[in-house]
Chains A and B, each alone.
Chain A
């Protein structure tokens, strides 16, 4: 299995809706820290991603939340093969991406697309919108015959809510929300299965954010897309996701359906995170439990032993320093990586009617 075999070159199979499309097992990415100018010595590693397990089914949205530095963006780069994992495997349609070669890898790269956070920096300012959207076809020529490309570009622009007459305009002539739509059209052009959305609405104004969220939902319904939706905004993630995984310092600490994670959070970090989110409704103000965490996130270059969260956790005991808790169900109905996991309602529930 070390070099691309016959199997690696064959195209990838179809996956039915609801079946597992992408599976991530014990994924790790360590960036070396070096010292010295001519002779670079490695003095340590930043454990940006340190043992992440995820699975994404066809047609579903998996939300990945966490604070800055928790490794969620590194996960997105690993998934679209922009970075090579240090260890662990990414299985796509049952096949290990690291062992793919040739046609299969090309197909993987086409089928797993990404939308970035910053719609200003992720579009080439010297290319027209039409060229940006169509650029992928120069590699994956089989997707769009050369003849009808302009028409297809314009169809795509229309589909994401852009005026097709603007095909010859440049990115600076568009607003932030419109640029994000260009990024979405570019991803759609290659008929992907999965779109990794790395903070796609974080840079947008509130009123525009909802437009893009709605567009992503519509596209999912129309094309049967699967999303890995990475964001730090817990409200947006709850809105769009079927399942949610919470990351802290390089690993997933809790995972479940949106209802499980938001109404029965069982990891102390998830509870603290949820309790910090300001609520928008005046009548819910003050009903929420406040859990104020002490201190800052430790450096991923030198993470605490045992449980990563123990340095800020109010439940921490001796076992937390010696034994890293596994991400397993501890009687809450969903996996939680805490020795003392206990479901707790942190966010007040909006009473219906």
Chain B
């Protein structure tokens, strides 16, 4: 918990070196048979050295698509990035040529995925796949690369690494496979690691091991960690800052402590009250009504308004703050906290 207790509000970097990665007004849409699907609608965030930023959202909130855009692994078409900047090491990755992008991203930003089995190649040994990093980016020989692979497998605490380096992915358990993925991701000492639901497919006891490993690696290397998840518990235990996404937008942002103890957006509030807790039996759950929106037909105004218990429409609404008509911008509500709700002050109770 040492990182969490020293957390700072989002924005300025704690190390004083400026953000490592900056995403500005990113918009992604997909052309599909049933029309345009607006998956990401103007998302901005920064990741600083040593910071863990959690992107919290349900399926279809655009959290993974925005990460895939950063990594340049979106299938285009059907996807297209219609606007935005992704600034890493002073360069906008969206404007540099493809070959250059690989040189920047390869060693600088890496990503791990939810499903380790389908992310690893079944016909190559794990040692070969980890070593590929060193061969492709550092021009090492096979022998040297394998040696480095064993070191990395040790570092991610895979037991008997020297014996297992020639094993294939199917010979590893789920938790061990995720460690292999992490070994590949940290091979070139990236500045930013994006973890897309890294523990969702794992059991809780293994999840705890993997999250511990990620935190230790971050402490050793000072990398920025972007943790994409739907699990509020994981966010609470691991992240410094959190950005809550809904319908392709960030609806609330702040430190985990602030956001979780007193949400400023009704959606965050709804999420908090709809989960049962392990530490208390509790009364009846208070779910959010309705279903998450269809991204091909995002509701007008605030995308959350059809499900919002605090919406104001018609005569109730203040001028220019009509929930069904006016899109609420992500604005500073109290110091260190932004929310995209016309009535955040009421939600917060300030």
Contacts and interface: CB of A to CB of B under 8 A. Distances in A.
B58 to A, nearest CB: 4
Given A207-B271, A280-B236, A286 B1 contact: yes
Interface stretch (B38-46, B72-80, B130-138, B202-210): B202-210
Given A68-B203, A206-B275, A280 B233 contact: yes
Interface in A288-312: 290, 292-293, 295-297
Contact of B274 (A209, A259, A262, A275): A209
B276 interface: yes
Q: Classify the interface of chain A: helix, strand, loop or mixed.
A: helix
Given A67-B203, A205-B59, A210 B285 contact: yes
Interface stretch (B20-28, B86-94, B119-127, B286-294): B286-294
Interface in B280-303: 280-282, 284-289, 291-292
A273 B205 CA distance: 6
Interface string A234-258: 1110111000000000000000001
B316 interface: no
A186 B29 CA distance: 37
B212 interface: yes
A14 B62 CA distance: 52
A160 to B, nearest CB: 14
Given A209-B274, A281-B236, A217 B281 contact: no
Nearest to A65: B204
B257 A214 contact: no
Nearest to B203: A67
B230 interface: yes
B291 A208 contact: yes
Given A235-B278, A278-B233, A278-B234, A272 B205 contact: yes
Contacts of A236: 276
Interface residues of A, number: 50
B278 A277 contact: yes
Interface in B153-185: 159, 173-176
Contacts, number: 143
A278 B174 CA distance: 19
A221 to B, nearest CB: 11
Interface string A259-270: 100100000000
Contacts of A262: 278
What interface size band does chain B fall in?
A: 35 or more
Contact of B277 (A285, A286, A293, A350): A350
Nearest to A240: B276
B144 to A, nearest CB: 30
Given A68-B203, A211-B287, A285-B237, A234 B176 contact: no
A20 to B, nearest CB: 24
Contacts of B271: 206-207
B54 to A, nearest CB: 12
Nearest to A217: B284
Contacts of B205: 67, 272-273, 276, 292-293
A208 to B, nearest CB: 7
A63 B176 CA distance: 29
B166 to A, nearest CB: 20
B62 to A, nearest CB: 14
Contacts of B278: 234-235, 238, 262, 274, 277, 279, 347
23 contacts: A175-B291, A207-B58, A207-B270, A208-B287, A208-B291, A208-B292, A209-B275, A213-B287, A232-B203, A235-B278, A239-B277, A277-B233, A278-B234, A278-B236, A278-B237, A278-B238, A279-B236, A279-B237, A279-B278, A279-B279, A280-B232, A296-B173, A349-B279
* The 8 A-B residue pairs with the shortest CB-CB distance in the complex, in nearest-first order: A278-B233, A210-B287, A239-B276, A210-B274, A67-B203, A276-B208, A207-B288, A210-B285
Interface of A: 67-68, 175, 177-178, 205-211, 213-214, 217, 232, 234-236, 238-240, 258-259, 262, 272-286, 290, 292-293, 295-297, 347-350
